[in-house]
Amino acid sequence: MTTFALVLGALLAIACVVFVSRPFLREPAIATDADRLYAPDAAERRRLSVAEERDRALQALKELEFDHRTGKISDEDYRAAVGPLRRDAAEALRASEELLAQTERLG
């Protein structure tokens, strides 16, 4: 009788796990077109690329400033690295602004 109870309990546990996990295992139904994901067009990809470049340049400059303030980077190394990073950040910001201006003119 104990073996029967253990087997019955194991089968019941497996059935519960399968029943509960069923919604997670099947492909979700798409209700509307608003739920669909579309690939970005060329203009959207360009905008995303410029935004990522801008964010990377600003983050690098921010990390350099932080490392210099905390003493991880000497003054000489800071002066050598800050110029190119500022130029990269300025170019990325300029590209971002130009793209925004083009978008506003078209839209």
Q: Looking at the domain assignment, is residue 9 inside a domain?
A: no
Q: Looking at the domain assignment, is residue 27 inside a domain?
A: no
Q: What is the pLDDT along the chain (107 residues), one digit of tens a residue?
A: 789 899 999 999 999 999 999 888 887 776 666 667 778 888 889 889 999 999 999 999 999 999 999 999 999 999 999 999 999 999 998 998 988 888 888 76
Range of the domain at 44: 40-106
Q: Looking at the domain assignment, is residue 31 inside a domain?
A: no
Asked if 73 and 67 count as a contact pair (C-beta separation under 8 A), the reply is yes
* Count of C-beta atoms within a 10 Å radius of residue 73: 19
Q: Looking at the domain assignment, is residue 85 inside a domain?
A: yes
User: Can you list the pairs that 44-50 forms with residues at least 24 positions away whose Cβ atoms lie under 8 Å?
Assistant: 46/99, 47/99, 47/103, 50/92, 50/95, 50/96, 50/99
Question: What is the tally of structural domains in the chain?
Answer: 1
